[in-house]
Amino acid sequence: MMTQYLALKAEAGDCLLFYRMGDFFELFFEDAKLAAQVLDIALTSRGEHLGVPIPMCGVPVHSAEGYLARLIKAGCRVAIAEQVETPEEAKKRGGSKALVARDIVRFVTAGTLTEEALLEPRRANVLAAVCEVRGTCAIAACDISTGRMELEECPPERLGAALARLGASELVAPEGWDDAPAEAFPRPSRDFASEAGEARLKAVHGVATLDGFGQFSRALLAAAGGLIAYLDHAGRGKLPLLLPPVIVGASAHLAMDEATRASLEILVSSQGGRKGSLVEAVDRCVTGAGARQLAEDLAAPLTDRAAIEERLALVAWLHGDALLRGDLRAVLRAAPDVGRALGRIVAGRGSPRDLGQLRDGLSEARRIHDHLLHRADRPALLDRLLPSLSGHGALVDHLTRALVPSPPTERGQGGYIAEGYDAALDELRRISGDARRAIAALEAKYRDQTGIAALKVRHNGVLGYFIEVPAGRADALMMPDSGFTHRQTMAGAVRFNALALHEEASRIAEAGGHALAAEEAHFEEMIALAIAARQSIAATAAALARIDVAAGLAERAAEGGWCPPQVVDEPCLAITGGRHPVVEAALAAKGERFVANDCTLLPDDRLWLVGGPNMGGKSTFLRQNALIVLLAQAGSFVPAEAARVGLVDRLFSRVGASDNLARGRSTFMVEMVETAAILAQASERSFVILDEVGRGTSTYDGLALAWAVVEAVHGVNRCRCLFATHYHELARLADSCEALSLHHVRAREWKGDLVLLHEVAEGPADRSYGLAVAKLAGVPAPVVARAKAVLERLEKGRAETGGLAAGLGDLPLFAAAAEARADLVDTLRERLKGLDVDALSPREALDLLYDLKREAGAEG
Ligand code: ADP
């Protein structure tokens, strides 16, 4: 056995090998140690190999899915080795000692799952292959649970952003490629040959030329080839559902890199889950497929105005008709996940239940079709979707006649083909039904005959049907002429057979066997029909998802009072009464109100510096505007009273280093790498939000960098930008940068307490309120008082030297202003020089401060 195991293990490579033994999948050696740890199950041992006990652990076959899910989540890959012959076949082949033949039937990896239990219903599961051909990168991606396949080409420096959009759960790349993404799993480079890729694509779709699907470059073909080769490997020659590939143009989507996605918390929040993310705040879809489509839309907003407006028109239509929306959502809510059922069927893992889901889903689609057909005022997008919702009449009819109302997931027991569909099958069922009744009658007869009231006819997997009597009453049946044959003696009972029982049991077995075979044949036929119609079924699933997304967005807009954005070509961003959907929801949950804010970026006022105290709402303001752009271009209404959004080509969001968790590199280094990316990539059509950039280093460095970055963004990139900062000194930039204006989040001190108004107003921030924020945060009063004293001295120092940005006076623009103040501080300086600061009590310091102030006032 070990020889067979080791050969399979060699084939499985670095996958964990699930080795089927009866009702268990067993793991051995290092696999067992790892799996026992991840799954928290007992590690035992079995036999010896090279003189040491072999570590072993196992999971029951019937509950293997749950264990698989946990292993995959933990980043493992699993090879499943099944018994490919029965023990009887093995004996026939090689005698009584023959080992049952086993083979790896499938590799289970994060990107190749189709099982309902292993997939998250509201998230797409993407597998991607990447490669580089002559300086161009290409990505082939698919979601095999629904068959969608997408190809994209990009220059190497954009690869990160393109992959970030896809959010693949598994990535493969040719081995030996130096610039392969770190998380990619290496595959033989011959899989990525473009000729082979072309041949594979043609074979999958049964076409002689790919022209009908679009123009494919060498790089695209290579990536597609790598993807299909990997699927072929993982499925051991059985390919999953793949729809014709869609080529995505690099400029078709609003570009956002990984850091931007993370900072805007689009699909996952900073806590790492869906909770607190944008998608959670927006998603009102009633189907899993709708939720997956919405997540995809938010991850890849559009850049084509017509396409955006088309989506918006459908949302607006459903927004305007609450009754229709409610009806549609009720029907959709009840419809099963057609796309994923189809995915399992094409992958060869379909069940009667999946066929039932197709039947129900497709007939619901038809109902929606008929419902919408009578509406004269349909928006264009709906008009295009409508034909996809019907046209499965023959298939639905077939499935309806053939299947019972709720077919089972397992087909081993049969019973899923409806009565009346196949007369021969009904007859077989009648025979076994009769036989069952006959057996029940036999029990009564045998009781009578033997006079043993406790006699029972029972059934188990080993003996089949048998007669059981208590041990004490067995003697009569043991007699040679009793008509009963002894089969088994148990502790308290003895088991017998009888001719009549045997006959009826054989009838059941025979009829049952034939019935199962008949059901199986019908099943295969229906599967073949579904596979033949896979493209149009997938189109129906996609149309249902698109309608659900639009209805969900309309619902969300109605719920939150969102408005339809006006999408325009000029580079502007004019938002009235904008809100942050996630923060607003979080506040609402606590019964607090969100303060709406305006934002008006125009070509001649395109960069806003936003100052104000910590916790004042700067980050929230920045992000809400980025999210409004993102939502608008994804085709959604936006949380505002009115919004005019000039199309954005790339969106960047950066948060100063100290807000970020360490990611291996020094956080300041990360901040600078990300800032460099913006300066290199942002165009006049881009929108950038920068939050406290420069604070990850010393004050001087930070201010200097922030200063230079603002100047560059203003003068070179010329993009729309919101820049939050606590450096007051940056306010001076308003003098030199004509399209830059100053804003701040308002705060007031009221009876010694700080009140944050979360209101964005024009003009520079008057002061930073750092100590007030500290007090608000619960820093003990004596510490705050001490800090106040220190601050006063620091500020005195600042007054003397001209402050942190004093040197900036040397920059030509500020020279004049600095001179005017130069002599003012001289006498004060003399007094200050003579002071022994440490000898002062806080009280004396305060008195002195009044004194100095008076003096300064007298001089001024
Ligand atoms: P900053 O970036 O200025 O430090 P944040 O944007 O992080 O401030 O906001 C701090 C907190 O203030 C938020 O968590 C939120 O609870 C609250 N807040 C921010 N903006 C608003 C607003 N417009 N209306 C109401 N509360 C807000």
**Best CA proximity match to 428, nearest among 548, 543, 558, 515:** 515
Cβ of 625 closer than 6 Å to ligand 1, yes or no, is no
> Which tokens sit at 786?
């001490």
| Cα 623 to ligand 1 centroid, rounded to whole Å | 11
| Cα 747 to ligand 1 centroid, rounded to whole Å | 12
Cβ of 624 closer than 6 Å to ligand 1, yes or no, is no
Cβ of 617 closer than 6 Å to ligand 1, yes or no, is yes
Cβ of 245 closer than 6 Å to ligand 1, yes or no, is no
Strands 573-578 and 16-21: unpaired
Q: What is the pLDDT of residue 2?
A: 85
| Cα 267 to ligand 1 centroid, rounded to whole Å | 21
| Cα 166 to ligand 1 centroid, rounded to whole Å | 31
Distance CA 627, CA 279 (A): 11
| 8 A C-beta contact, residue 825 and residue 860 | no
**Best CA proximity match to 600, nearest among 577, 630, 579:** 577
Cβ of 618 closer than 6 Å to ligand 1, yes or no, is yes
| Cα 616 to ligand 1 centroid, rounded to whole Å | 5
Kind and range of the H or E run holding 754:
strand 753-762
Other residues' Cβ atoms within 10 Å of the Cβ of residue 8: 16
Residue carrying structure tokens 């033997």: 450
Q: Which residues pair with 403 in a beta bridge?
A: 417
Distance CA 162, CA 292 (A): 18
| Cα 618 to ligand 1 centroid, rounded to whole Å | 7
| Cα 642 to ligand 1 centroid, rounded to whole Å | 21
Q: Is the dihedral of CA 414, 420, 422, 426 positive or negative?
A: positive
> Which tokens sit at 843?
């009280």
Distance CA 265, CA 72 (A): 24
| Cα 705 to ligand 1 centroid, rounded to whole Å | 25
Cβ of 615 closer than 6 Å to ligand 1, yes or no, is yes
| Cα 578 to ligand 1 centroid, rounded to whole Å | 13
**Best CA proximity match to 319, nearest among 555, 639, 560:** 555
| Cα 739 to ligand 1 centroid, rounded to whole Å | 26
- List the residue whose alpha carbon is closest to atom 26 of ligand 1: 594
Cβ of 768 closer than 6 Å to ligand 1, yes or no, is no
| Cα 726 to ligand 1 centroid, rounded to whole Å | 15
Distance CA 17, CA 12 (A): 6
| Cα 277 to ligand 1 centroid, rounded to whole Å | 16
Residue 786 CB partners (closer than 8 Å, separation 6+): 842
- List the residue whose alpha carbon is closest to atom 9 of ligand 1: 617
Ligand 1 atom at minimal distance to the Cα of residue 596 = 23
DSSP one-letter code for 183: T
| Cα 617 to ligand 1 centroid, rounded to whole Å | 3
Q: Is the dihedral of CA 419, 422, 423, 429 positive or negative?
A: negative
Three-state SS at 781? helix
Q: What is the pLDDT of residue 662?
A: 43
**Best CA proximity match to 399, nearest among 241, 522, 537:** 522
| Cα 587 to ligand 1 centroid, rounded to whole Å | 10
676 alpha carbon, distance to own chain's centre: 28
Distance CA 43, CA 28 (A): 10
119-158-305 Cα angle (round to 5): 80
| 8 A C-beta contact, residue 32 and residue 55 | yes
**Best CA proximity match to 12, nearest among 30, 39, 24, 36:** 30
Distance CA 255, CA 288 (A): 26
Distance CA 192, CA 228 (A): 10
**Best CA proximity match to 540, nearest among 372, 362, 663, 352:** 362
Residue carrying structure tokens 């520079």: 764
150-72-52 Cα angle (round to 5): 140
Q: What is the pLDDT of residue 460?
A: 86
**Best CA proximity match to 260, nearest among 633, 646, 623:** 623
Ligand 1 atom at minimal distance to the Cα of residue 587 = 16
Three-state SS at 485? strand
**Angle of the 288-299 helix axis to the 534-560 helix axis, nearest 10:** 80
Three-state SS at 208? coil
Q: What is the pLDDT of residue 806?
A: 62
Cβ of 619 closer than 6 Å to ligand 1, yes or no, is yes
| Cα 454 to ligand 1 centroid, rounded to whole Å | 77
DSSP one-letter code for 251: G
> Which tokens sit at 476?
């009569």
Tell me which of 583, 618, 695 to substitute to probe ligand 1's pocket, judged by most ligand atoms within 8 Å of the beta carbon.
583
Indicate the burial class of 803 (C-beta count within 10 angstroms; 0-12, 13-18, 19 or more).
middle
Residue carrying structure tokens 């041990």: 471
- List the residue whose alpha carbon is closest to atom 18 of ligand 1: 617
Residues with pLDDT less than 50, the chain: 658-664, 809-810, 812-822, 859-860
| Cα 693 to ligand 1 centroid, rounded to whole Å | 18
Ligand 1 atom at minimal distance to the Cα of residue 759 = 23
Cβ of 114 closer than 6 Å to ligand 1, yes or no, is no
* Residue 538 half-sphere exposure toward CB, CA atoms < 13 A: 21
- List the residue whose alpha carbon is closest to atom 11 of ligand 1: 615
Q: What is the pLDDT of residue 665?
A: 52
> Which tokens sit at 91?
């004996």
Q: What is the pLDDT of residue 413?
A: 84
Whether the full predicted model's pTM is greater than 0.85, yes or no, is: no
> Which tokens sit at 487?
């089969």
Ligand 1 atom at minimal distance to the Cα of residue 616 = 3
- List the residue whose alpha carbon is closest to atom 20 of ligand 1: 617
Tell me which of 590, 758, 773 to substitute to probe ligand 1's pocket, judged by most ligand atoms within 8 Å of the beta carbon.
758
Q: DSSP assignment of 558-617, as one string? A: HHHT-BPPEEESSS-EEEEEE--HHHHHHHHHTT-PPPPEEEEEBTTB-EEEEE--TTSS
Distance CA 662, CA 652 (A): 20
Indicate the burial class of 758 (C-beta count within 10 angstroms; 0-12, 13-18, 19 or more).
buried
| Cα 692 to ligand 1 centroid, rounded to whole Å | 14
Tell me which of 598, 620, 624, 641 to substitute to probe ligand 1's pocket, judged by most ligand atoms within 8 Å of the beta carbon.
620
- List the residue whose alpha carbon is closest to atom 25 of ligand 1: 594
Ligand 1 atom at minimal distance to the Cα of residue 623 = 6
Cβ of 639 closer than 6 Å to ligand 1, yes or no, is no
> Which tokens sit at 220?
């695209």
Residue 273 CB partners (closer than 8 Å, separation 6+): none
Cβ of 614 closer than 6 Å to ligand 1, yes or no, is yes
| Cα 275 to ligand 1 centroid, rounded to whole Å | 18
Phi-psi sector, 13: left (phi>0), alpha (psi -120 to 50), beta: left
> Which tokens sit at 571?
């580079």
- List the residue whose alpha carbon is closest to atom 5 of ligand 1: 617
Tell me which of 263, 265, 615, 768 to substitute to probe ligand 1's pocket, judged by most ligand atoms within 8 Å of the beta carbon.
615
Ligand 1 atom at minimal distance to the Cα of residue 620 = 6
CA distances from 491 to 455, 462, 488, 494, 648 (A): 16, 17, 10, 8, 81
| Cα 131 to ligand 1 centroid, rounded to whole Å | 43
| Cα 488 to ligand 1 centroid, rounded to whole Å | 78
Ligand 1 atom at minimal distance to the Cα of residue 613 = 3
Distance CA 264, CA 270 (A): 9
Phi/psi of residue 235, nearest 5 degrees: -95, 10
**Best CA proximity match to 359, nearest among 526, 243, 226:** 526
